[in-house]
Amino acid sequence: MTDLVACLSSGEKSWAHVARLVKEQEWGKVFLVTNDFGKKNFNAGKEVEFIVVDMQKPVSELIEDIRKGLKGKITDLEVALNLVSGTGKEHMAILSALLKLGVGIRLMAVTKDGVREL
């Protein structure tokens, strides 16, 4: 079963999108890249693993923190990836970390027809 990696940054609407994505699909594991505030305040309704990073760090440090947080935990050769929440800097760091880990990426989103690959 595919693992999900999602950015969980600021914004109530984006949190609702991530929550639906987690709940409406079966995932092997769910990894949410977020900060301390996100870890303390987000309720996914399912078991998730938070990869807590300091979003104020330079992008090169963010990449390494995310890579270290995910290393050895992804269960397949590819992951489902959602970047609805977050900034360009956060998105670049997550993409770079996943590529450095050597996994393939399928972009996923919640649409009016449910969870779909883009």
* pLDDT tens by residue, 3-17: 999 999 987 789 999
For the chain, the domain total comes to: 1
DSSP one-letter string for 32-93: EEE-HHHHHH---SS--EEEE--TTS-HHHHHHHHHHHHTTT--SSEEEEE-SSS-HHHHHH
Position 1 confidence tier, pLDDT thresholds 50, 70, 90: very high
Quote the tokens at residue 81. Answer: 């990836």
The answer to whether the pTM exceeds 0.85 is yes
Q: Domain of 68: which CATH number?
A: 3.40.50.2000
pLDDT tens per residue across span 86-98? 999 999 999 999 9
Residues ≥6 apart with Cβ < 8 Å to 113: none
- Residue 90 lies in domain: 3-117
What pLDDT, in 10s, does the model give residues 39-81? 999 998 899 999 999 999 999 999 999 999 999 999 999 999 9
